[in-house]
Structures are given as structure tokens and as C-alpha cells.
Structure 1
Amino acid sequence: MNDAIPVIVSYASDTPRHDAAFADELRALAEGAATVIAATGLDARWVNAAAPHAAARDLVATARGVIVLGGADVDPALYGATPNGTWMESADAAADAFEAALMRAAIERDLPLFTICRGTQLLNVVRGGTLVQDLGAGIHREPNQDMVTHPVEVHPGTRLAAVLGPGIRDVRSGHHQAVDALGAGLVVSATAPDGVIEAIESEDDRWILGVQWHPEDAGSDPAQLQRLIADFATAARATLPVGDDPITAPAA
């Protein structure tokens, strides 16, 4: 499509730090996201965060939006903490560094930025926040299950509420980490019954939104991801095309 809007979609698809089952799960989730992204008419330019084919700033320079999907836990060194548990076996410092740079470049260029699960945790860290390293037993992850269903409360007056509607929504989750201290310029837009932060967004009118759950999971309500991506696509179409950016366009 000649008029398709280019957006970068990142996830760590082939890192050797992931075991085969986890890699397969990530690919299945990415396929679910890809179907909905394509249906909006966006030109998704996929990048493997574990082995990117270009620098983050160069990729963002040709895009009008950025999406960062789920993956391994974020290295606590990025927010000044030490590892607490054996989960660090799946962490990938290269993927952390690339996706953090991707987010910073998107924010600098004021591009729409949508994140899911790990992407949301990393977004909070990029903005100076911290993470809970292990939630322990609870509603967000169960042994021998990739995903569990639980409710979240979408807070009224937020961008997320404008997209999904305020109130209780059932979501699909599979995480043991979560946002702790909130990063600068962010607000909480959804929480779980146990108080865990389930969505964050920009405190101003910029299109920056992250959900902790997996709307791209096959067991999720498909309307959730459809509405989120549709709103993201609207924002991406409203950004300046490459070459019209007053920062990068050549002088007349």
C-alpha cells in the first residue's frame, strides 16, 4: 500500500536467552498482534530487538509510530537494583538497550508509542521508574499456564478509558514483574484488584500508552487490541510524514 503508514514493531524473537517454549509463545503473540496491525493499514516494519538490523534512531527516523511487544524480564541494573531471583536467566541486555533507545527516540520525535507487558515495564524504566521484580503468588501468573484471565479497572478520564471505556475489563496476563515507582510524566490508567499497576500512559496529550496484559493473546477479547491499535493508527496518521519534520527537513 503506497499510502500505508510506516511503524516500527519490536520484539526479541530469536535471542538465545529464551528457551524454545518461551520463544514459541512470543512468536504466537507477535502473530496475533501482526494480524490486527495489518488490518489497520499500517506498514509494520518488524525488528528483532535481540539482533536489530539498524540503529534505533535510524529506524525511528523513517517511522510514524512505535510498538514494543512482550518478552523477557528487564534487567534490574537499568533501574539501579540488583537481581532478586533466578529469572535473570532469560534477560537480554542487548534487547533491553535497543528497545530503551527505540522508546527514547520515539518520545524525542513525539511519535505514538504503544507497549505491551515487558514493553510497558521497560517504558516505565526509560522514564526513570522502577519495577517489582517478583509479584509472587497471585492472579497474574499461574504455574504451568502461559496466560491467566483476571479483571482490571480502567480509570476514568484516561486515554485508555477513551479507547476501551472506563470500568472493569477481563484481561489475559502472564507476568511476574510489574511497575513499581512510576516514571516521570506517566500516570496509571488501570489497576488489578490486588493493586498491581496494569496500564500506564503519558500525563499529557501525547499518545504514549502501555498495557501490562496481553490483548494480542488468542484468549483475549479481540475488541481490546483492535480498539487500541485503531487509536494508535489514528495518532500515527496524524504525525508529520518523514521529510516534513521541521527538525530533519532540509532547508529551503
Structure 2
Amino acid sequence: MTGVSLASGSIVESGAPIPVVMSYASETARHDRAFADELRMLADSAAVFAREAGLEIRWVNSAAPDADPGSLAASAAGVIVLGGADVDPAMYRADPDGTWMDSTDAAADAFEAALMRTAMDRGIPLFTICRGTQLLNVMQGGSLVQDLGQGIHREPNQDMVTHPATVHAGTRLAGILGAGSHEVRSGHHQAVDRLGEGLVVSAVAPDGVIEAIEMTGDQWVVGVQWHPEEPASDPAQLRRLLADFAVAARVGAPAAFVA
């Protein structure tokens, strides 16, 4: 097989498409039309980059999944959980603090948490974006800031804003994107608070808000709080993240999944 280096942002080796599960609440009465349209746009954008990286997507609607997490993860070489509604505070033993909550869906929370747990138990790579990253932290016993208030992460009348995030040296994320400051696109009013077990912080915003987390050890588990799939983002970010994810998925995939 032939291929190109990771530095170019493409998969290292070509071959058979790598099957991955990609999850978000695509169809649910919990979201209004504008929010549903935004999530669909972001998912469609993520799919373009995923296919470019050699990934074959198995979509699942987390609000009404058509299969159980175990069978989905068993048929895949990796799992990607996208953004969406706020995580139900009950998952981290908290009460809603009275601030605006964005269409919480306990069923979607439970499904995606189980999907991520199964992926981690199977040792296949897991990549999460925004809500997916918050849920990853909660699943590991962490908690969330329920509302960041006014600031650099989500301004009034703007779905997405640009701000810097500093990637910490020595992390898996630094190996993918490079350590130091990167301009990112984000649109979130919640964030990681108490860090979950086995996780480390791999990027922070100038105000100290956690912008990325990852698992310690050898398994590929990376979560970014920002939206590298947003059309105004630097496309090299998602290309490099998915290229590295694809390499890990191909290495760990059952022989039937690869050429």
C-alpha cells in the first residue's frame, strides 16, 4: 500500500475504508429547527473530512438508536461522538443551577455514554467534539460548568466564535496539532469542570476554560471542546485529528476490516 505522511493531514496508508460509528442526536423533538439544522450542517462537514481520511461512516441517531451500543462498537474500528445538547446534570449528581439548559436528553446521554464505554473497553479509538467531550468527562466521573456566562466561547447572536487555545506539550493532541497556540472555532456555554478519572487536560483557552482532554495510556481517546468541523475552522485541524484517528483505527481493527 502507498500513502503520505501525517504532516500533510492525510491518512498514512490507503486501503479498505475503515468502519466507524458516528453519533449525534440527529432526529429528536428536543431540538428546535434551527438547532437541528446547525447540528446537521456540522455533522455533514465532519463526514466530508472523515471520508477523506478513509473512514466509512455508520450513522446513529443517539436520541433514537437503531442498535445497541455493544453491537455498534463491535462492528466498528472506531467511534466518533459529535456535539449537541447539554448533558443532563443528573449524570454528574448535580441539580440544574437555574441557567439556560440546551435541550437535555437523558436517553441520548445514556446511549452515547454506553457507546463510548464500549469503545474504550474494546480498545478502539474514540474521538469526541464539544458535547461529546463533556459527556466523556462526565462518564469518567467528572463534572461540568453549567454555564460560562458572557465571554469568549459563545457570544450573543453568534453561534460560533474564534478564540485561541493553547495545546499542552507532551500530550497526544500536541503530537497531532503541535504544542502552543491555535485559533479555534467554538460555540459552547458549558465546559469541563472537575476532571474525570484517567483524563488529562491537553488544551486550555486564555480564560482557563478546558478546551481539550484525553485519556492517559496508549489507547487513542481525544476530546476537543471546540468545533474543528465548523466550516470557518482551519481545515488542517480536523484533517490531522482524523488522520491520526484513522491510523489508530486501522492498527487496532480486526483483519476483516482492513485490506
Q: What TM-score range do you get, normalising by the shorter chain?
A: over 0.9
Query: What is the match of residue 250 of structure 1?
Result: none
1:203 is displaced (CA, Å) by: 1.3
Q: Summarize the Cα distance change of 1:239–1:149 in structure 2 as closer, same or farther, 3 Å threshold.
A: same
Task: Tell me, yes or no, if structure 1 residue 235 matches structure 2 residue 248.
Answer: yes
Q: TM-score, normalising length from structure 1?
A: 0.94
What is the CA distance between 1:3 and its match in structure 2?
Answer: 2.0
Give the whole-Å Cα distance in 2 for the aligned partners of 1:2 and 1:147.
Answer: 36
Compute the TM-score of the two structures, normalised by the length of structure 2.
0.91
Pair 1:27-2:55 in alignment? no
Alpha-carbon distance in structure 2 between the residues aligned to 1:107 and 1:54: 18
| Match runs of 1:7-156 below 5 Å | 7-85=20-98, 87-88=100-101, 90-156=103-169
Question: What SS does the corresponding residue of 2:128 show, helix, strand or coil?
Answer: strand
Answer whether contact 2:39 2:84 (CA < 8 A) is retained. Answer: yes
SS at match of 2:87: coil
Counterpart of 1:169 in 2: which secondary structure? strand
Cα distance in structure 1, aligned partners of 2:46 and 2:255: 25
Q: Distance in 1 between matches of 2:37 and 2:213?
A: 27
Aligned equivalents of 2:118, 2:162: Cα separation in 1: 34
Distance 1:147 1:104, change over 3 A: same
Q: What 5-or-longer segments of structure 2 have no aligned partner? A: 1-13
Q: 1:40 to 1:243 in 2, by over 3 A?
A: closer
* Displaced runs of 4 or more, over 4 A: none
Measure, in 1, the Cα distance between the counterparts of 2:100 and 2:63: 18
Kept in 1: contact 2:99–2:146 (CA 8 A) = no
Identity %: 70
2:40 and 2:253 map into 1 onto residues whose CA distance is 31
Q: How far 1:2 sits from its partner (Å)?
A: 8.4
1:80–1:229 distance in 2 versus 1, CA, 3 Å: same
1:159 pairs with 2:172: yes
Cα 1:155–1:12, aligned 2, differ >3 Å: closer, same or farther? Answer: same
Tell me the residue number matched to 1:226.
Answer: 239
Q: 2:197 aligns with which of 153, 160, 184?
A: 184
1:216 corresponds in structure 2 to 229
Cα distance change of structure 1 residues 137 and 59 upon mapping to structure 2, 3 Å threshold? same
- Separation of aligned partners in 2, 1:164 and 1:2: 24
Distance 1:109 1:135 in 2: 35
SS at match of 1:223: helix
Residue type at the aligned position of 1:135:
L
- Structure 1, unaligned stretches of length 5 or more? 245-252
**Equivalent residue number for residue 196 of structure 1:** 209
Give the aligned CA root-mean-square deviation in angstroms.
Answer: 1.5
- Paired with 1:92 and 1:189, the residues of 2 have a C-alpha distance of 28
Q: Which residue of 2 aligns with 1:248?
A: none
What letter is aligned with 1:149?
T
- 1:247 maps to none
Partner of 1:249 in structure 2?
A: none
> For residues 128-150 of structure 1, what are the alpha-carbon distances to aligned partners after superposition, in whole Å with 9 as ceiling and x for unaligned?
10000001111000111110000
Instruction: Report if aligned partners of 2:160, 2:186 keep a CA contact under 8 Å in 1.
Output: yes
Whole-Å separation in 2 of the counterparts to 1:229 and 1:3: 16
Inter-partner Cα distance in structure 1 for 2:113 and 2:217: 21
